[in-house]
Amino acid sequence: MKLRLIPALAIVFLLTGCDGNDVPPSGTVTVTNELFGSGPYYAMGFSFDAAELVSTLTEPYDIDIKAGSLTSGGPVEAFLSANTLEPSFALKGEYATASAAISAFKALTSVGTASYIELAAPLKENQVWVIRTENERYAKIRIIKIDFDPTVPPFYASCQFEWVFQPDGSTRFP
């Protein structure tokens, strides 16, 4: 009887120790618009839920980066887009230095009043954005670095950003 109880207790302890919260609520990531595959082509988007880069072809993702003209005949620029049909981006501030952007990012503890737009554009270093995901959850990001080559199609863009995600749907950041 005692020998049968030991494996059962071990399984109970293992199952209660796995609460599914192994996904970090913050980090730093770089997204690019580099294409993969042999057709259909896909890029890698970022999923806040998974806290990782995922295929835009097969996985649910929240944001990705693109490069192109936003108006007919306008200049080519890099921008973030969201995998949703609703406006998802709210610019909270642009800062002259990285240290000012870091301070503003850390001080941003809730979504607050936000006016959302469809694309994060124009995209610049030292910006702080709030993102509303398709499931009405929120993330804040701080743009660290933009690499952009508008000289030869397909235009290359990459964006490194720090992020904090609120997975429970509240408007306060952890």
Domain boundaries, the chain: 21-166
Per-residue pLDDT band for 13 (boundaries 50, 70, 90) equals very low
Rg of the Cα trace of the chain? 20
Within 8 A by CB and 6+ apart from 73, the residues are: none
What pLDDT is recorded for position 22?
Answer: 78
State what percent of residues in the chain have pLDDT above 90: 79
CB atoms within 10 A of CB 165: 24
Nearest to 69 by CA among 59, 81, 77: 77
What pLDDT is recorded for position 32?
Answer: 97
**Residue pLDDT, tens place only, 38-54:** 888 899 999 999 999 99
Q: Is residue 100 scored above 60 in pLDDT? A: yes
